[in-house]
A and B are shown apart, each in its own frame.
Chain A
């Protein structure tokens, strides 16, 4: 087993004391390409937010030495904001240029790699859903981080864009980057993601995709509606009082 780019140790993250991720332990190997799958409310997005440092764990530790690029669900952005595509993408260089230094980045090349060469001067409000996601991937290219977290990158995206962006993800993996993506498209996971984490608050299974996505587990996943217990017991696992 190669060393972990991200390792989780007894990680619990909760909202209003209800755990969304519950005592999760494991690691994403450096250079791995992992899909995170699970039913609604299974804690997939929460896990990514916690790794990205946007949510504080209630318990446990997340260790990640490398810089992280995090792509939230598209719903979290104001798509009508008056900014040009090129300026939006250029912000990817933030960790190197910050808020004040001159932006010396090749925005054109990044837009070229996602097929948006001629869109640099357009406002982001004029882009279609697929184009918008391509633009956000161009920003990820400029972030050039060794660890990339993608939250439902292909939700409501056309097949051609998915194929183009998957090629980009493949290139990232070939370049040694660690990629973790929350996905609902199981066929895509089987076809393109070597590793899978099946999450239902706890890790149901974590390993090579074929071994994880067994028919029995998928059936169990479809059956399970994640319950929200109004009168839960206090968890005593992992030494918590």
Chain B
């Protein structure tokens, strides 16, 4: 087997691999930008919390409609939005900060989700919901993931300027009457949608990996928000492609393979990253005359 064959043949030979690759591309386009903005808002752990929050909703969908795409999707979206809104309300009306109140809600959600699935299904179902089955992505799931990525891209493009300003200088945005809170809410909806899209393919626990890890990598390579988004999409898609190959050749589960590849890129970025990487701090580049 040549290298080229090893890299291309799995996708040429098997339709399920091609579908998985397209799903990864859609996830990269949808989740990459959202992850970058989460990171810049210092809400990296928020994605994690929300992904757990999706679980009980998906479980309720699963109990109501079995392993049905739409049941679990709608349940996941509903649960994610409820937790996001509740956590926001708690942090606004009590002394708890948003990250702390989210932690409270997502721990409860995770426990509730595991409880629901394990009392109403078998452990295989639980594994499916927690870790997804990207190799079993069917046409309907592909349309859902692609649709969410498209919607997310269009909405993000539309609210890009206020959203970036809300991250960069929220006090300024408030002082000029730019309704930052509204865009924050729209953005949270996008986070939930993209997590639900990722959950189809990677499961609730792994979906956030393809959202945050590429974003963290991008911080080490790009200087502005727009270029960071580009890097994040590239890293996410490359992780999806390489992760699928790893999964295929080594018979490893696909979700963890993809996220581990992204984690490896993250490790490399920490060491070699052009902006603030470890080596960049050690190796002195020759400086300019002026």
Contacts and interface: CB of A to CB of B under 8 A. Distances in A.
Interface in A72-115: 72, 76-78, 81-84, 87-88, 91, 94-95, 98-100
Interface string B174-193: 11111000010000000000
B175 A83 contact: no
Interface stretch (B218-226, B240-248, B254-262): B218-226
Nearest to A98: B178
Given A82-B225, A82-B228, A99-B159, A88 B168 contact: yes
Interface string B102-134: 000000000000000000000000000000000
Instruction: Choose among A53, A78, A88 the residue with the greatest number of B CB atoms under 10 Å from its CB.
Output: A78
B253 interface: no
Interface string B196-234: 000000000000000000000001001111001000000
Given A95-B177, A100-B158, A100-B161, A78 B224 contact: no
A193 interface: no
A193 to B, nearest CB: 22
A81 B168 contact: yes
B27 to A, nearest CB: 23
Contact of A53 (B172, B175, B183): B175
Contact of B169 (A53, A91, A99): A91
Contact of B178 (A94, A123, A143): A94
Contacts, number: 62
Contact of A82 (B159, B161, B171, B224): B224
A83 B162 contact: no
Interface residues of B, number: 25
Chain B binding surface SS class: helix
Instruction: Choose among A78, A94, A99 the residue with the greatest number of B CB atoms under 10 Å from its CB.
Output: A99
B42 to A, nearest CB: 8
Contact of B40 (A68, A77, A82, A100): A82
A99 B178 contact: yes
A172 interface: no
Nearest to A94: B176
A22 B177 CA distance: 26
A41 B228 CA distance: 41
A224 B223 CA distance: 47
A32 B224 CA distance: 39
A91 B223 CA distance: 18
Contacts of A123: 223-224
B9 interface: no
Given A91-B169, A95-B176, A98-B178, A83 B225 contact: yes
A87 B228 CA distance: 15
Given A83-B164, A99-B159, A100-B161, A70 B175 contact: yes
B156 interface: no
Nearest to B36: A82
A52 interface: yes
B223 A77 contact: no
Given A100-B158, A100-B161, A83 B168 contact: yes
B217 to A, nearest CB: 14
A52 B224 contact: no
Interface residues of A, number: 25
A82 B223 contact: yes
Contacts of B158: 100
B43 interface: no
Given A83-B164, A123-B223, A54 B175 contact: yes
A35 to B, nearest CB: 21
B167 interface: yes
Contact of B168 (A69, A78, A99, A100): A78
B154 to A, nearest CB: 13
Given A68-B175, A95-B177, A99-B162, A81 B223 contact: no
B65 interface: no
B165 interface: yes
Nearest to B228: A82
B176 A143 contact: yes
A15 to B, nearest CB: 13
A218 B187 CA distance: 50
A99 B161 contact: yes
Contacts of B40: 81-82
Contacts of A70: 171-172, 175
Given A91-B172, A99-B162, 14 more contacts: A70-B172, A81-B167, A81-B168, A81-B169, A82-B225, A83-B168, A84-B224, A87-B224, A88-B168, A95-B176, A99-B159, A99-B161, A100-B161, A123-B223
13 contacts: A53-B177, A70-B171, A76-B171, A78-B169, A81-B40, A82-B219, A82-B223, A83-B164, A88-B169, A91-B165, A95-B176, A99-B165, A123-B224
